[in-house]
Structure 1
Amino acid sequence: MNTRSDQTTKDDSTKLNDAVLHEDDLTEQAKNQFSYHSDIFRTLESYRQSVLHNVHITHLGRNFFLSELDILHRNCKHVLNYAAEHNEIFNKNLPTIGPLVVCGPARTGTTLLYNLLACDPNCRAPLYTDMNVEVVPPIARSDSIGQKRRIDILNSSYSYNEQLYKLLTQLAAHHAHFDIEEDYVILRQGGYFPMFPLLSDDEDSSSEIWIRKEMKKEYAYDYHEVFLRMLNSVDMPKSHWLLKSPFHIFSLNTFLHHYPNALLIMTHRRLDEVLPSWCSLLLAAGDGYFDKSNSISRNRIIKRCCQCLDTEVECIMKFRTSENGKVDQSKKNIFDATYDNLMKDPIGIVHQIYHYFNLHWSNDMEMAMRKWILENPQGKQGRHTYSLAEFGFNQEDISTRYVDYINLFLSSNN
């Protein structure tokens, strides 16, 4: 038994339990310029209280989530302080094209498509380290020394926390890890964390309560734009920014308010595959954080997955359809791609996207995509298996529940 290690873990946990989120190090200039800072603070503090009061979270889980919230808030304050001090970041316009945004539901091939689109040397997709490691000052992709320093810091954090590294390795079988990451990381710093209510101990919370509450956080997109402009100030792409998150679906009108030139890619997959895959991923993520012997946490995760998918489909239908229930053809800034077609011909789908949006296609990009596919075959980081039955679902229920969405986006006539 490693007594020293155990004692260190207990000491760290005690510090995190006692730590209170604060804004003492947020400058007055930042507070005055970004009034929504208090909304972000209140949101993250409410999440912290949920962690502290949920008796089903393990010691490791509580330690992880409290640490995560502390890091999110610290990064947020660093960014707001930097932006307030460097107002020149707002003087440099974002590219007139895009951003190009992959915003299909989770588990519909978005990660594959995102990584292929990122092979375009004329675009920029945020690196995980851009958003999570030494976020200020921002550094250019060409700054090899600065980029290496960030990677070294990230790797050292994994070596320090063996349990976290083991969990991330297990999760890679469900959701592969890559250098670029979805901009949901930015939204989390802004207090937009749709899946954090999994930690709530409120058994009766409905989607009308927890998801709708998250969808009202327009300030998270205020913060998102500040962050993207900060990155843009040092590393503006020649063509466009590339972004990705399934959670943009909940707030597409807000997103378009901030980025009116956005080009949206919506991926679609059979929902009898999406739902169990989504449940399996979140249960795998919860393995290290919740008491496995208690069915409450498992049942809550499955219930919230269903509520999340219900709301995603509802938001897509509301955003995409006209009054007669048909797809609104007037919205020319949206490209639809099915998972099956993407898996059959991924480069062909990217080519269609570029043709549809009149983006510049290059041989360098195609060669980079082919290289990426060869180096990252499906299942390289582990295999992910699941079924409807293991979560208490059946195909008939799914077909009935989402019939309108299926007819519009997944029928053989489309």
Structure 2
Amino acid sequence: MSAPQDIIIDDMAQPRLTPAIIAAREGPADFDENMGVDEILSRASAMTGGLSDFGEDTGFRERLAVVLQSLAEDEGLTRGGRITIIDHAIRVMANRLRIEDLVKRHPEILDIEIEKPLIIAGLPRSGTTHLVNWLARDERLRSLTLWESEEPVPSAPPPPPGEPDPRALRSAEFWGHFESMLPHMAAMHGMDAASIHEDNELLYMDLNCYSWEFQTRIPRWIDHYFAHDRTPSYLYEKKVLQVLTWFRGPNRWILKSPQHMENLAPLKAAFPDATLVITHRDPVAVLRSLTTMLGYSDRIRRDPTDPQGLARHWADRIERLLHACLDQRDVWGPDQSIDILFHEYMADQEGMMRRVYELAGLPLTPEAERALLGYLDENPRHALGRVIYDLEGVFGVDVAALRDRFRFYYNRFPVKLEN
């Protein structure tokens, strides 16, 4: 196998803008980027042919109002960046309407058991995406594709047998356009419509997903998020999983999201019989990777891009996430949870797989083992290139000071410090 190609992004602070990126920064001319909560919900209703029942209000209207206020306060966000988030809010509220309508017509959905899910948590860029896509090769586990997470309930009758789902085609078209503007994204975090995705997209439907934060800088929203109990939103996610299981089983899920790491108690309340796997990686290495990925895509949504402000924001955010993780870690006992150190996982992936299966009480059949080991052969690390990071130079971070801030985490989890 040839050595991976090095990828150096040398225009982070002053990006070279293509016509497609310039157009994305501006967004559609006929879109009202200043719409409020009522108009967003009205547009979602119109998308679903007039459905109006959003189900129990677990605070999602208030959270939407806080998001909109926070967007207005983010002066560096481009018009197109703001439109992307508002359009996303309309879409997930339309999803919510379809979910409530389906459950109303088929109340037996709420009787479906979500049996002993296998849930992966961990910092962004700590191996969780690789792990969930890998273990999802075991067909005894139900997993969530990207396109399915974006539109859980179809808006039209299913296609004829053998024909692709229109939802998958829409997702592939959207992310294909995104990656054509940002060709290095595939080497950092590819968005293949058929790949296995994070279940935090399901939390979007209760408007309590921290993924808003990857697209903008909204401290007001973050404070609101931490000030309120997220358990009702995790229970709503469970409802969406029941809907998805009704369409297609099995009912034992494999799920993953970095957001779970700061929601261990709500996660346990919603899924008390789950097996929890937490990946742990040097948060400095996480910040190197995350800031590069987000800084690269910020050329679409921020003007100026402000790499140093991005690094400060995410250093604060990761510190807050890690404190929440440590505060709640003991909610999960050793009979249901395992902590995996990233460097140990990378050194012995097969061994880690066997430990996870043993903890989950899931027999490793010959068929499952062949599928899982085959995935490793097909997906070597850095297959699409190795991104070269410069946290100190490009993002202006004092790494020694950052390690001091994260000392509380290093003292609990002996992750390998990465240069």
Same fold by TM-score greater than 0.5: yes
Q: TM-score if structure 2 supplies the norm length?
A: 0.80
Question: Which residue, out of 193, 196, 206, partners 2:209?
Answer: 193
- Please list the CA deviations of residues 121-164 of structure 1 after superposition, one character each: whole Å capped at 9, or x if unmatched: 11011111212136237999xx96465433223234456xx4x3
Q: Which residue of 1 aligns with 2:90?
A: 70
The Cα shift of 1:43 comes to 2.2
Q: Which residue of 1 aligns with 2:369?
A: 366
Q: Which residue of 2 aligns with 1:36?
A: 57
Query: Counterparts in 2 of 1:91-130, with a 5 A limit?
Result: 91-95=111-115, 98-130=116-148
Asked if residue 262 in structure 1 is aligned to residue 271 in structure 2, the reply is no
Check conservation: 2:109, 2:243, Cα contact below 8 A. Answer: yes
Asked if residue 275 in structure 1 is aligned to residue 287 in structure 2, the reply is yes
Aligned-residue CA RMSD in angstroms? 3.5
- Please list the CA deviations of residues 292-317 of structure 1 after superposition, one character each: whole Å capped at 9, or x if unmatched: 3x53xx34422221122112211221
Question: Which residue, out of 314, 319, 326, partners 1:317?
Answer: 326
Q: Which residue of 2 aligns with 1:325?
A: none
The Cα shift of 1:197 comes to 4.7
The Cα shift of 1:260 comes to 0.6
Asked if residue 152 in structure 1 is aligned to residue 152 in structure 2, the reply is no
Question: Which residue, out of 337, 357, 363, partners 1:354?
Answer: 357
Output the amino acid matched with 1:301: L
Mapped partners of 1:225, 1:192: distance in 2: 14
Q: TM-score if structure 1 supplies the norm length?
A: 0.81
- Please list the CA deviations of residues 80-103 of structure 1 after superposition, one character each: whole Å capped at 9, or x if unmatched: 2222222110122222xx211110
Question: Which residue, out of 177, 188, 211, partners 2:191?
Answer: 177
The Cα shift of 1:115 comes to 1.2
Mapped partners of 1:10, 1:109: distance in 2: 34
Check conservation: 2:263, 2:325, Cα contact below 8 A. Answer: no
The Cα shift of 1:64 comes to 2.2
| DSSP 3-state at the match of 2:276 | strand
Check conservation: 2:262, 2:324, Cα contact below 8 A. Answer: yes
Mapped partners of 2:344, 2:225: distance in 1: 31
Where structure 2 has 5 or more consecutive residues not aligned to the other structure, the ranges are: 1-18
Q: Which residue of 2 aligns with 1:284?
A: 296
Check conservation: 1:128, 1:180, Cα contact below 8 A. Answer: yes
The Cα shift of 1:406 comes to 1.4
Check conservation: 1:102, 1:265, Cα contact below 8 A. Answer: yes
Where structure 1 has 5 or more consecutive residues not aligned to the other structure, the ranges are: 322-327
Check conservation: 2:120, 2:256, Cα contact below 8 A. Answer: yes
Asked if residue 236 in structure 1 is aligned to residue 249 in structure 2, the reply is yes
Residues 74 and 129 of structure 1, relative CA distance in 2, 3 Å threshold: same
Output the amino acid matched with 2:348: D
| DSSP 3-state at the match of 1:336 | strand
Check conservation: 1:105, 1:246, Cα contact below 8 A. Answer: yes
Q: Which residue of 1 aligns with 2:16?
A: none
Q: Name the count of aligned residue pairs.
A: 387
Question: Which residue, out of 396, 401, 413, partners 2:400?
Answer: 396
| DSSP 3-state at the match of 1:265 | strand
Question: Which residue, out of 91, 94, 99, partners 1:79?
Answer: 99
- Single out whichever of 333-342 and 276-285 deviates more from structure 2: 276-285
**Fraction of identical pairs, as percent:** 20
The Cα shift of 1:211 comes to 4.9
The Cα shift of 1:77 comes to 1.8
Residues 392 and 231 of structure 1, relative CA distance in 2, 3 Å threshold: same
| DSSP 3-state at the match of 1:397 | helix
Residues 13 and 80 of structure 1, relative CA distance in 2, 3 Å threshold: farther
